[in-house]
């Protein structure tokens, strides 16, 4: 029995696994550059801060879809439900909080929005555990439709199709008031996005994130090696709902408005498109996609206001037919080619 003392030293395998995980989690210079640019934009484009803030929020919504689609492989068309729930929660808190702490405090509002969305996400996550892609698609869409219907019908609470008016969040941390130029809005949205992004990055680079990728690759085999597939899916779906809820809360606070439009089908579809434009499964895909999506919407929308949808559809068709993996996929392919060319000569 004496030789069976419990060793506190990690085994060589554990050390190797640890270094692999740490290696995956290291910050590369393109990532640092990305966030540096995001901060620099505050000073470079002082007239476009509302737009930038909206991009950051859309990026967060796309990020939440990336968590379920890019990492766990769940095709969803219903993330707008959580976004909308978050928007209405934050909006109602700010409206009936009457500018009094703590209820109209923006940060607390975000937490509650995310929490309510996560609760709905947890309940509905059990519906997406089973079935094929088509079933999941229709279930997520169905949940979003039910939420949209509720928002439209509960006029006494949500203002119906007129939207929720009079959303007045108090100053962020009691110091920074929301202004017309979007200064506070952008810094606030970007900060929230960054914090949640770092957490998401931590999540997907962890062993839990790896297990999600395994589930995406092959759920049956993952179950066979003893992974609690359903539990993992419930967890990530709930987390993603939290993210979408926070994004919705942000939009209600920064624009001081919430409308049934936030729950509508095209909201979920747009966010999915942004993610796919950028490339799913890299975390940055949604962020890059939202920048491109919104900028193109601005530019093309100025040329032909109504028919931007046409170009959007066209881009989608071309994307699916020719550029798999979105922009990040394209960049990685290019990098791979350069590396290969450089390889033999070095």
Partner 1 sequence: MLTILFDGVAYGMLLFILAVGLCVTLGLMNFINLAHGAFAMAGGYLTITLMQRAGVPFLLCLPAAFIFSAFLGLILERTLYRHLYDKTHLDQVLFSIGLVFMAMAMVDYAYGANQQIVDLPSYLTGRLNFLGASIGVYRLFVIVICGLLALGLQLILTRTRFGSRLRAAVDDGRVARGMGIDVTSIFAVTFAVGSGLAGLGGALGTGIISFDPTFPLKYMIYFLIVISVGGTTTITGPFLASILLGVADVLGKYYVPAVGGFIIYTIMVLVLILRPQGLFARGPAR
Q: Which residues bind partner 1 (CB under 8 A)?
A: 69, 75, 77, 127, 130-135, 137-139, 141-143, 145-146, 149-150, 152-153, 265-266, 269, 272-273, 276, 306-310, 312-317, 319-321, 324
Q: C-alpha dihedral over 213, 219, 223, 227, to 10 degrees? A: 20
CB closer to partner 1 out of 194 and 308:
308
Complex with partner 1: residue 88 or 277, whichever CB lies closer: 277
Residue 149 CB, nearest approach to partner 1 (Å): 5
Return the number of the residue (210 or 319) whose C-beta is nearest partner 1.
319
* Cβ-based nearer residue to partner 1, 169 or 286: 286
Please report how close the Cβ of residue 274 comes to partner 1 at its closest, in angstroms. Answer: 12
Q: How far is the CB of 140 from partner 1 (least distance, A)?
A: 10
In the chain, what's the furthest Cα-to-Cα distance? 81
Residue 111 or 300: the one with the smaller Cβ distance to partner 1 is: 300
Q: Toward partner 1, which CB reaches closer, 143 or 287?
A: 143
Residue 278: is it exposed, middle or buried by C-beta count within 10 angstroms (0-12/13-18/19+)? buried
- CA distances to 90, 107, 180 from 166, rounded to whole Å, are 12, 18, 15
Cβ at position 242, least distance to partner 1 in Å: 22
Given the complex with partner 1, which of 324 and 337 has the nearer CB atom? 324
Number of neighbours of residue 153 by Cβ within 10 angstroms: 11
To partner 1, the closest distance from the beta carbon of 304 in angstroms equals 9
Of 90 and 275, CB closest to partner 1: 275
The minimum distance between CB 2 and partner 1, in angstroms, equals: 57
Of the pair 109, 326, the CB lying nearest partner 1 is at 326
CB of 157 to partner 1, least distance (A): 14
Closest distance between partner 1 and the C-beta of residue 41, in Å?
29
3-state secondary structure the chain: CHHHCCCCCCCHHHHHHHHHHHHHHCCCHHHHHHHHHHHHHHHHCCCCHHHHHHHHHHHHHHHHHHHHHHHCCCCCCCHHHHHHHHHHHHHHHHHHCCCCCCCCCHHHHHHHHHHHHHHHHHHHHCCCCCCCHHHHHHHHHHHHHHHHHHHHHCHHHHCHHHCECCCCCCCECCCECCCCCCHHHHHHHHHHHHHHHHHHHHHHHCHHHHHHHHHHHCHHHHHHCCCCHHHHHHHHHHHHHHHHHHHHHHHHHHHCCECHHHCCHHHHHHHHHHHHHHCCCCCHHHHHHHHHHHHHHHHHHHHCCCCHHHHHHHHHHHHHHHCCCHHHHHHHHHHHHHHHHHHHHC
* Smallest separation (angstroms) from partner 1 to the CB of 123: 12
């Amino acid at each position: 029995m004496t030789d069976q003392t419990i060793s506190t030293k990690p085994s060589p395998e554990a050390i190797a696994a640890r270094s692999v995980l740490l290696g995956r989690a290291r910050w590369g210079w393109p990532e640092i550059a990305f966030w540096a640019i995001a901060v620099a934009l505050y000073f470079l484009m002082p007239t476009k801060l509302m737009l930038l803030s909206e991009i950051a929020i859309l990026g967060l919504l796309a990020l939440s879809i990336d968590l379920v689609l890019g990492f766990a492989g769940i095709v969803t068309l219903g993330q707008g439900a959580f976004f909308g729930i978050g928007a209405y929660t934050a909006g109602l808190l700010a409206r009936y909080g009457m500018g009094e702490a703590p209820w109209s405090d923006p940060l607390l509002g975000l937490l509650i929005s995310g929490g309510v969305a996560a609760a709905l996400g947890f309940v509905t996550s059990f519906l997406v555990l089973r079935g094929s892609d088509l079933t999941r698609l229709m279930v997520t869409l169905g949940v979003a439709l039910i939420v949209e219907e509720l928002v439209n019908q509960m006029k006494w609470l949500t203002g119906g199709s007129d939207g929720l008016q009079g959303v007045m969040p108090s100053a962020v941390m009691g110091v920074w008031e929301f202004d017309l130029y979007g200064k506070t809005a952008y810094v606030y949205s970007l900060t929230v996005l960054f914090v949640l992004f770092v957490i998401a990055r931590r999540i997907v680079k962890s062993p839990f994130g790896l297990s999600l990728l395994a589930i995406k690759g092959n759920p049956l085999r993952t179950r066979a090696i003893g992974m609690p597939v359903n539990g993992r899916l419930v967890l990530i779906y709930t987390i993603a709902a939290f993210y979408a809820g926070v994004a919705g809360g942000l939009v209600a606070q920064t624009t001081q408005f919430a409308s049934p439009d936030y729950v509508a089908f095209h909201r979920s579809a747009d966010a999915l498109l942004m993610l796919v434009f950028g490339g799913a499964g890299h975390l940055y895909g949604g962020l890059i996609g939202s920048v491109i999506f919104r900028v193109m919407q601005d530019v093309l929308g100025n040329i032909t206001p109504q028919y931007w949808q046409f170009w959007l559809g066209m881009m989608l068709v071309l994307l699916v037919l020719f550029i798999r993996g979105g922009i990040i996929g394209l960049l990685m392919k290019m990098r791979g080619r350069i590396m290969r060319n450089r390889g033999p000569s070095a």
